[in-house]
Amino acid sequence: MDLRSVAPAPPDAILGLTEAFKKDPRPEKINLGVGVFMDDAGRTPVLATVKQAEEDLQREETTKSYLPIAGLPAYGERVAELVFGPGHEVVRSGRVRMAQSPGGTGALRIGAEFLRKFLPSSKAWLSAPTWPNHKGVFAAAGFGAADYPYYDPSSRGLAFGKMAEMLDGAPENDVVVLHVCCHNPTGVDLSADQWREVAAIAARRRWIPFFDFAYQGFGAGLEADRAGLLPFLETGLPVLVAASFSKNFGLYNERTGALALVASDPGEAAAWLTHVQALVRVLYSNPPAHGAAIVARILADPSERAAWEGEVDAMRGRIVSVRDALVQGLRARGVPVDFSFIRRQRGMFSFSGLTDAQVAFLREKKAIYMVGGGRINVAGITPRNLDYLCDSVAEVLRAVP
Ligand code: PMP
């Protein structure tokens, strides 16, 4: 091997799509590929509460000196409360420790590196399908991957029986990655009863749940969305949570996330954190401050926090109403498919059921961009493009059955 003969790496499927979209000169183009929230005007705005916090920080900031390796302590405290709920036992007892991270991806990676260090022969179980970067992150940390069944195309819902059966066979100390809410890419989540059943399986089989919590507030609400992970906290098992504030604070490019380590007692959690700190030290030394300072500030101020919760509710409200409008728009065009399942899915993503050939037709003939497999970001639908989108989907269902 010689550096001069290095071939280009394959493009990232989702980010590559955005590049192609940007270059597309057709004015009617629609981007349903990228995973960012968009408002009615198709913009990804800075939240008003975030702007306010930035102005305050700009005025009051006195130093750019390094943060501790595990990040701003006040951020860790507020985030633990947001993720687990105010006054939750894991927080009161001190058996959770937090490490601020560069986005949810950073939290997944440092969590995966930590697990890998002590469990070198464990596998990481990922839902089929999942966010493609899960595969990359766990492979980069040295994990062999396995899939557990998740989505059932025939019912367009959860393959719960198969999922539970597979997870009941996962060995002790393997790592099972679970999406707390707003599953990416399908939009299909577990019910409260199903979560309790999976927690009981974990307790019996003693595998390690690693939760990806990237969409808190986008499913049913900030509080309701954490329900899935709560039963796992009672099992006494190690639990990891990778939280991201890219979506619910709109802090995409500020790389703001956190890894929560839940142990069975405070001493164990503290010991784990020292290893995560050692990993962070050699990866990026310490985290960036800006996004975390914003989040800590908003969460600490009751009126700003209430205003932010209102902004999250509004984003979720828009997603729900867009899902409705899409289902109605397609029904009004008499399409031969019942798309009402789009209403049942939660979060920004929806498995539309469109085939790869239909996805290609929409991109080439209609300038409508979606990810292969038919995942759409419903937040990319606006009052301005809804009719064109519905007309185009109705057409592709006829032209490419
Ligand atoms: N997990 C899932 C399921 C996601 O969809 C995303 C963002 N697309 C992330 C994690 C990572 O988010 P971040 O940008 O905060 O790294």
> What is the distance in A from the centroid of ligand 1 to the CA of 238?
22
Instruction: Kindly report, residue by residue over 162-189, the tens digit of the pLDDT.
Output: 999 999 999 999 999 999 999 999 999 9
Phi, psi of 211 (to 5 degrees): -90, 135
Q: Is 131 a catalytic residue?
A: yes
Tens of pLDDT, residue by residue over 92-137, are: 999 999 999 999 999 999 999 999 999 999 999 999 999 999 999 9
With the most atoms of ligand 1 within 8 angstroms of its CB, the residue from 12, 126, 131, 371 to mutate is 131
Catalytic residue among 123, 125, 225, 247: 247
The rounded Cα 160 to chain-centroid distance in angstroms is 20
pLDDT digits (tens, 9 = 90+) for 243-261: 999 999 999 999 999 999 9
Which residues neighbour 354 within 8 Å (Cβ) at sequence distance 6 or greater? 362, 370, 374, 393, 396
φ, ψ of residue 141 to 5 degrees: the values are: -85, 0
* 298 contact partners, CB below 8 Å, separation of at least 6: 49, 50, 53, 249, 304, 305, 308
Q: Which residues line ligand 1 (CB under 6 A)?
A: 35, 103-105, 131, 179, 184, 212, 214, 244, 246, 257
Alpha carbons 295 and 307: distance in angstroms, whole number: 13
Q: CB 306: neighbour CB atoms within 10 A?
A: 11
Distance CA 295, CA 312 (A): 13
3-state secondary structure 348-396: CEEECCCCHHHHHHHHHHHCEECECCCEEEHHHCCCCCHHHHHHHHHHH
CA of 339 to the centre of ligand 1 (A): 26
Rg, the chain, Cα only: 21
For residue 22, indicate whether it is catalytic.
no
| CA 109 / ligand 1 centre spacing (Å) | 12
Question: What are the φ and ψ backbone dihedral angles of 350, each rounded to 5 degrees?
Answer: -145, 135
Given a cut of 80, whether residue 1 has pLDDT beyond it is no
pLDDT at 233: 98
Q: How far is the CA of 242 from the centre of ligand 1 (A)?
A: 9
For ligand 1, mutation pick of 134, 150, 184 (most atoms within 8 Å of CB): 184
Confidence of residue 374 (pLDDT cuts 50, 70, 90): confident
Cβ atoms within 10 A of the Cβ of 298, count?
Answer: 25
**Residue 330 CB-density burial (10 A; 0-12 exposed, 13-18 middle, 19+ buried):** buried
Identify the band that residue 15 occupies on the pLDDT scale cut at 50, 70 and 90: confident
Q: How far is the CA of 283 from the centre of ligand 1 (A)?
A: 19
Q: Is 212 a catalytic residue?
A: yes
Closest atom of ligand 1 to 245 CA is 15
Cα angle: 253, vertex 359, 354; to 5 degrees: 105
Q: How far apart are alpha carbons 155 and 354 in whole angstroms?
A: 15
pLDDT band of 239, cuts 50, 70, 90: very high
**Which of 388, 343, 84, 129 has its CA nearest to residue 239?**
84
pLDDT reported for residue 235: 95
Catalytic entry in 189, 212, 272, 366: 212
pLDDT confidence of residue 309: 98
Q: Which mutation among 105, 108, 183, 225 tests ligand 1's pocket best, with the greatest number of atoms within 8 A of CB?
A: 105
For ligand 1, atom 4, name the residue with the nearest CA.
214
